[in-house]
Structure 1
Amino acid sequence: MLKKTLLAFCVIISAFSLKAQQIPRFNPDTVRTIVIDTPVANIRSHKLNAQDFIDAVLADTSFYKAFQNMKRYAFTAENRIFTYDKKNRINGRVYRKILHDREQGKNKVTYPAKQDSGAVYKKNGKYELYTIEMFDYIFMNAYNSEFATGGSPINPKGKNAGYKAKLKALIFTPGRKISGIPFISSKTEIFGPDLRQFYNYEFARGTYVDSIPVYRFKVIRKPSTADDDTMIKEMTTIFDARDFQVLGRYVDMKYSNMLFDFDVQMNIELNRFNGELLPVKITYQGNWDVPLHKEERASFLILHKDYKAVQ
């Protein structure tokens, strides 16, 4: 039971660097898409304070709704997944070009291109890595994801529903306590009274995709903080300066003890089409390891483009 619980938790964490990195992986850093006016600015000089940004992070619903908005659009997705062995050599590749459309109110998915190689599937046809299965569910709509049909960000149904709920909570409602995670449930509550002492807040202004004025609010672990005091090492949120809606989120999480070890990063970026926020890029890289189970190492690049409104 403990093994299963720890395995599930580590997969959840993977939805959000790497030790002894020997090959290039996708760098999930939303800041690379933003031109920063000044490296660090004074929040108060802009008539804002850290609590304004914290409140906005905790209250935001636009980030999840951007994924719900996809059901009203046809679009093209390109997904690249790489898995790695213990020496960080690629041992599995997945490429998907996916056309999403709507016919008679239902989501239609076609695959103009599908390429797999290496250690991707088990003999029974299931994915070799549980990490890929979870990402396939969340971001690729292969299992009729709630992002295609509406649904709740924290109430999925079906197999592994509890794990998927925690995964979605970590991605779309960050900063809150996620119950049911062994040993470190409280370490997700980074804005709570017990953890605030371990973090610094940084603020900057910049421009996103050449024209959108943004605020970058970074919550970053203090250098003097012990490694085991925190799980989330950095969380950066990009706000549209015009309406304070979230345009991007980057999370860096790392934790290690005698029972499990993970080191992962994830980034999600949005943009507007017809005035609505829609996801355009998801990147991930990470390792996780628990006793009596194969270590999982993977990286993802998911791109969405060519959005067209449909009835």
Structure 2
Amino acid sequence: MIKKSLIAFCLLLSAFSLKAQQHRFNPDTILTVVIDSPVNIRSHRLNAQDFIDAVIADTGFYKAFRNMKRYGFTAENSIYTYDKNNKTDGEIHRVVKHTIVNGKHKTEYLVKQDKGNVYKRNGKYELYTVEMFDYIFNNAYNSDFSANDPLAGVGKNGSYKDKLKTLIFSPGRKVTGIPFLSGKTEIFGPDMRQFYNYEFARGKYLDSIPVYRFKVIKKPSAADGDVMIKELTTIFDMRTFKILGRYVDMKYNNFLFDFDVKMNIELIPYNNELLPAKVSYQGNWNVPFHKEERASFLILQKDYSK
């Protein structure tokens, strides 16, 4: 049971650092945000709790992925997997055109290339990382992303997919049922808040949208074992306080597991809604009696049309 829980937890992370440098899609902060200067949020009649409350209450990221099913768009996906020596051993490249024809979703592969160690003999993906990528970012038309799915099934009996969605779309909440780590996901809680500093800045997103950057970062005095989330950066639209970007850096190791993952997600406004535009990820994880997994991917979605 413990082994199953550990593997399930690592699957969550794998849908979210690797040490080699080839083909790495390094999500090192939100790259399309240009920061102008630090900001005194009190002069803007805001305080840290305003940002914390907005992060915890936000459902916009989840809705953005649900919103995709109402639009046509083009997705460009590149995935690389690596062996234990950090050499590329699998590649997946896709350019996918999504359209709505007579009210029904249609998928057309403009490019579909696989290379190396991608699939098992039974046709399933070799790595759980890729399987989870496919579930979260390529499977938005699945009923799992319906309006009736409240992102609430995260208790002890919640599936690893529920926990995964909570870590990606609602970071800062407690995710129960994860051995030794459940409390460490609740970074704004009374037990974890002592380990973090808050930093505020303002800038421009996509050259035109004024934004706040709210960075929650591990204090230098905190030990590595004190926290799981090293950094959580959130980009807010200054005009509406809606969240446009999110960067997560998580790293932890003990006698049971070892993971190091970074992930960046960016949304764009279109037709008065928010839609996914970019996802970059790099990560590795390792648990006993299971093959170590290393992968990176880049997802770009563009040319949205009603």
**Shorter chain as normaliser: what TM range?**
over 0.9
Cα distance in structure 1, aligned partners of 2:110 and 2:158: 30
Superposition deviation, residue 45 in structure 1: 2.7
Paired amino acid for 2:258: D
Question: What whole-Å deviation, never above 9, does each CA across 1:4-34 have from its counterpart, x for those lacking one?
Answer: 211110111223243x434351011343211
The alignment-based identity, stated in percent, is 70
Q: Alignment partner for residue 252 of structure 1, among 249, 253, 272?
A: 249
Cα distance in structure 2, aligned partners of 1:260 and 1:226: 18
Counterpart of 2:90 in structure 1 is 92
Question: What whole-Å deviation, never above 9, does each CA across 1:107-143 have from its counterpart, x for those lacking one?
Answer: 2212121000011000110000011001101101288
Does 1:57 pair with 2:31?
no
Does 1:274 pair with 2:238?
no
Structure 1 residue runs of 5 or longer lacking an equivalent are none
TM-score (structure 1 length as normaliser): 0.93
Counterparts of residues 16-55 of structure 1 (less than 5 Å): 16-18=16-18, 20-38=19-37, 40-55=38-53
TM-score (structure 2 length as normaliser): 0.94
Paired amino acid for 1:255: Y
Superposition deviation, residue 150 in structure 1: 4.4
Equivalent pair of 1:213/1:241 in contact (CA under 8 Å): yes
Give the superposed CA RMSD: 1.8
Structure 2 counterpart SS, 1:249 = strand
Superposition deviation, residue 193 in structure 1: 0.2
Structure 1 counterpart SS, 2:30 = helix
Paired amino acid for 1:26: F
Paired amino acid for 2:28: D
Counterparts of residues 219-258 of structure 1 (less than 5 Å): 219-258=216-255
Cα distance in structure 2, aligned partners of 1:197 and 1:221: 9
Cα distance in structure 2, aligned partners of 1:286 and 1:134: 13
Question: What whole-Å deviation, never above 9, does each CA across 1:31-56 have from its counterpart, x for those lacking one?
Answer: 32111001x33222322111110011
Equivalent pair of 1:153/1:168 in contact (CA under 8 Å): no
Paired amino acid for 2:139: N
Superposition deviation, residue 209 in structure 1: 0.5
Q: Mark the CA change 1:254 to 1:142 in structure 2 (over 3 Å): closer, same or farther.
A: same
Cα distance in structure 2, aligned partners of 1:35 and 1:143: 33
Cα distance in structure 2, aligned partners of 1:143 and 1:85: 32
Q: How many residues align?
A: 303
Equivalent pair of 1:153/1:165 in contact (CA under 8 Å): no
